[in-house]
């Protein structure tokens, strides 16, 4: 059995901790100190959802996206990069936004979303995006947004 030293306790004076830790806060460009969702897109960026907007983090700097960029709510609740390169952004009270080719498009209950507060986002093996809201389940595939169960799943 291998016994590792506890964090912060080196086994010898010359031993170094295996990792370097750094904290980024609002003073460093993060929109809020509480991160509510996190994901990484294929291009390597980390996306951080907070109570005060969305941040794209490149490892050094944060680029903040908010209301002026097209989000309808600053409270980010879920993030999902899909298999087509779109970043889906779930919010509290502002519906669901899609960041695609640098543009944000927002879908709300007025567009057919079950509710405007998003709890979770998932993509299945067929590329269907499942949107779990506080008011029910919605799905998106090939530009179709619906709250009914897809015909292929009714078998």
Kindly report, residue by residue over 26-41, the tens digit of the pLDDT: 877 788 889 999 999 9
Tokens of 3: 């016994």
The 10 Å CB-count burial string (b at 16+, else e) for 107-130 is bbeeeebbbbbbeebebeeeebbe
Selection from 80, 127, 42 nearest residue 89 by Cα: 80
Kindly report, residue by residue over 20-79, the tens digit of the pLDDT: 767 778 877 788 889 999 999 999 999 999 999 999 999 888 999 999 999 999 999 999
Q: Which domains does the chain have, with CATH numbers?
A: 28-153 (2.130.10.10)
Give the pLDDT confidence score for residue 93 in this predicted structure: 97
Tokens of 125: 């093996």
Tokens of 117: 């507060």
CB 69 within 8 A of CB 62: no
Instruction: Put the strands of the sheet holding 53-57 in their side by side order.
Output: 35-40, 46-50, 53-57, 62-65
Kindly report, residue by residue over 110-134, the tens digit of the pLDDT: 999 999 999 999 999 999 999 999 9
In DSSP terms, which residues pair with 111 in a beta bridge?
A: none
Write out the chain in H/E/C secondary structure: CCCCCCCCCCCCCCCCCCCCCCCCCHHHCCCCCCEEEEEECCCCCEEEEECCEEEEECCCCEEEECHHHCCCCCCEEEEEECCCCCEEEEECCCCEEEEECCEEEEECHHHCCCCCCEEEEEECCCCCEEEEECCEEEEEECCEEECCCCHHHCC
Strand pairing class (76-81; 87-91): antiparallel
**Has residue 87 got a pLDDT over 60?**
yes
């Amino acid at each position: 059995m291998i016994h590792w030293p506890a964090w912060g306790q080196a086994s010898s004076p010359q031993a170094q901790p295996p990792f370097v830790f750094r904290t980024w806060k609002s003073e460093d460009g993060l929109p809020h100190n509480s991160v509510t969702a996190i994901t990484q897109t294929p291009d390597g960026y980390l996306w951080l959802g907070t109570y005060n907007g969305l941040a794209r983090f490149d490892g050094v700097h944060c680029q903040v996206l908010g209301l002026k960029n097209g989000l309808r709510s600053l409270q980010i609740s879920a993030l999902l990069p899909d298999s087509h390169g779109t970043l889906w952004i779930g919010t509290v009270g502002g519906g669901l936004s899609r960041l695609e080719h640098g543009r944000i498009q927002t879908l709300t209950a007025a567009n057919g979303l079950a509710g405007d507060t998003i709890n979770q986002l998932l993509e299945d093996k067929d590329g269907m995006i499942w949107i779990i809201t506080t008011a029910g389940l919605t799905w998106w595939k090939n530009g179709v947004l619906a709250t009914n169960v897809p015909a292929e799943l009714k078998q």
